[in-house]
Amino acid sequence: MAPDDRNEVPLTPGDHPSELNESPSTLVDSVPKPAAESSALSSSSQTSPSVPSRPSEEDPADSIRRPPIRRLITPAPKALKSSRSSFFSWPFVFLFLGFLAIGSCNFTLFSLVDSFRQPTALSALTGPAVGVISVEGEIFDTRWATDTLKSFEKNKFIRAVVLRIDSPGGAVAPCQELYEAIKKFPKPVVVSMGSVAASGGLYLAVAGNSIFANRGTITGSIGVIMESIEFDQAMDKLGIKSQVIKSGLYKDVGSPFRSMRPDERELLQSMVMNVYEQFVKDVTAGRPKLNEAQVRKMADGRVFTGEEAGKLGLIDEIGGYEKAVEKAMALGKISDPNKASIIYEDGRLGFLTSLLSGNLAFLKPVKSAVAPGLTIKFIYRPGW
């Protein structure tokens, strides 16, 4: 609002309104009134009876012109928009429905894949069946396989098991756990080698009753390997030092932050050879046609094709997965193979189960290709 253009006399400290001997009515009368209002008052004063006026009092402050009283007009608040429009919109609805449709399609697709992967549920069996356990990739955990073997053992309809191996091996302890479980399994176990069944893969295979391999299957690699990496030279260039406080001389053996001492290498070599002896003895026990000397002759880490392994006695027959299943049915005394069921297990959970348990592959952290520390394995790694 623009300031008033009329000349106004400022109040002096002595002229504060509180010090004026005027009544509230006198102050109100001093406010200038509009012309229409003043004319109405003058006309009414002519027709109305006279009212005795209040005796005037001489006061110097009456000559002071007081500033007009201005009214502050607050505009009426605008009507609030409907809260419904703040979050409800058709694009949002279409986006939500689109995600819902995509999720439903993915769930249906994965359910169909699971149904094809496992044609018959173990609990729904009503006739003879063959159980199939598929071990693929590097072996780090075999608990699912040992649990599956226990389930197959308890089910009276499972007559035999096919162990499908497509693995270069893995950690020593998990391989030994599954090896012992296969050896103790009371029903026939037929092994089918895939593309690679070397080192730890071969270690598992010799626990079965019969071994099948394709002519081009890579197997063998009987031996043990321990790996470690060192960062000490790179740390020296970067000016980084590692401080270690330990309770014993060998507590940090295999540390990546310093070079390995000769005595440490000797200690680790003795560990590797101890596990190597276990490997040789277990292979000898699993291949009755081979004696320990024959096994040691080929147990220097070399690999063989399936055809070469057949001649050496590491496998029994040349053949693929189908022949292994036929052999399992024969050993399980299944008279009509056409009526037999196949129960397939590979350790992978269904999509819905994985989603609910948080075991989806893309939710898991990726394992580092180069991990510091020591690892001892039955594994075949070409190119390393």
Out of 199, 210, 255, 341, pick the active-site residue. Answer: 199
- Can you tell me the distance from the alpha carbon of 301 to that of 296, in angstroms, rounded to the nearest whole number? 10
Whether 48 is catalytic is no
- Can you tell me the distance from the alpha carbon of 62 to that of 211, in angstroms, rounded to the nearest whole number? 124
Report the 3 state secondary structure along 221-286.
CCCCEEECCCCHHHHHHHCCCCCCCCCCCCCCCCCCCCCCCHHHHHHHHHHHHHHHHHHHHHHHHH
**Cα dihedral across residues 276, 280, 281, 285: positive or negative:** positive
Tell me how long the chain is.
Answer: 384
Strand order across the beta sheet in which 169-171 lies: 169-171, 375-379, 225-227
- Neighbour-count burial for 230-268, b at 16+ CB within 10 Å, e otherwise: eeeeeeeeeeeeeeeeeeeeeeebbbbeeebeeebeeeb
- Can you tell me the distance from the alpha carbon of 241 to that of 258, in angstroms, rounded to the nearest whole number? 10
Whether 199 is catalytic is yes
CB atoms within 10 A of CB 363: 9
- Can you tell me the distance from the alpha carbon of 81 to that of 341, in angstroms, rounded to the nearest whole number? 66
Using alpha carbons only, what angle is made at residue 127 by residues 124 and 131, rounded to the nearest 5 degrees?
75
Give burial (CB, 10 Å; 0-12/13-18/19+) of 62.
middle
Torsion angle (degrees, nearest 10) of CA 191, 192, 197, 201: -30
Closest CA to 307 of 161, 193, 188: 193
Q: How far apart are the first and last CA of the chain?
A: 86
- Can you tell me the distance from the alpha carbon of 220 to that of 198, in angstroms, rounded to the nearest whole number? 5
Out of 33, 246, 251, 311, pick the active-site residue. Answer: 251
Q: In a 3-state reduction of DSSP, which class is residue 46? A: helix
- Can you tell me the distance from the alpha carbon of 187 to that of 157, in angstroms, rounded to the nearest whole number? 11
The set of catalytic residues is 199, 251
